[in-house]
Amino acid sequence: MTDDNILVAVEGPLTIITINRERVRNALNQATIAEIQTALRAFEADLSQRVAIITGAGDRAFAAGADITEIRVLPGADAARRFSEAAHDLGLFMHQMAKPIIAAINGYALGGGLELAMSCDVRIAAETAMFGQPEINLGIIPGWGGTQRLPRLIGPSAARLLCMTGDMITAAEALRLGLVERVVPAASLMDEARTLAMKIASKAPLAIAAIKQAVNRGLDMPLAEGCMYEAALFGAIAATDDAKEGTSAFLEKRQPTWKGQ
């Protein structure tokens, strides 16, 4: 699949989505947001696909933010709210998907670009990547989840500091804060992302979906309620054919064959 704003490639059980607006550092306009969501819906519906990777074209930017030319001409508060809600629709869809998404962050991840990366399940960054929520420098606030996802990842104090100063941080600092899970040499970023994606793709797909669901929904629950939710999911997964296959394979000292049933 090829169009103006994104490239989509299927590599075995992996779907790789590349933001293809290198001339504007992969800035996210409304059309690109819609195309990413369409590609992810197709990925989610395809039973042969297990893990998606989102990255940016070139080596300068994952996505350097929302397209400022669109923000500048928003006619008023209602239009601006709809602009924000469209991106939230994508982020919440990613959050609710059964399949995991890896962000391979190859350069600047700023504003909406960082918010897109935070909507993914795992973030791997090139050591040259830079991160920030610079909306304050434009006289606005993060509008695609920055004030909500960032504190959940790095804590409220660090999130307030980044959002209020608009400062950028390095990949090393992002790793220290817990904003990304791995930092790798830029030249090996996609190889590392593919290796991790293939490792996840080799696991039982129903269990992967349940883990994502348990973590994402459990974060919004009190601990006792979250534990009971986990128990319910454990019961459902333990009754699947894949669970029977996995336990049998372990006892028989062989590799399991997952069917997603």
Catalytic residue among 35, 44, 135, 230: 135
Question: Token pair of 106, please?
Answer: 């190859």
Catalytic residue among 115, 181, 192, 225: 115
Q: Quick check: is 135 catalytic? A: yes
Q: Quick check: is 44 catalytic? A: no
* Cα 3 to Cα 16: distance, rounded to the nearest angstrom: 14
CA angle, residues 36, 210, 200, in degrees to nearest 5? 65
Active-site amino acid positions? 115, 135
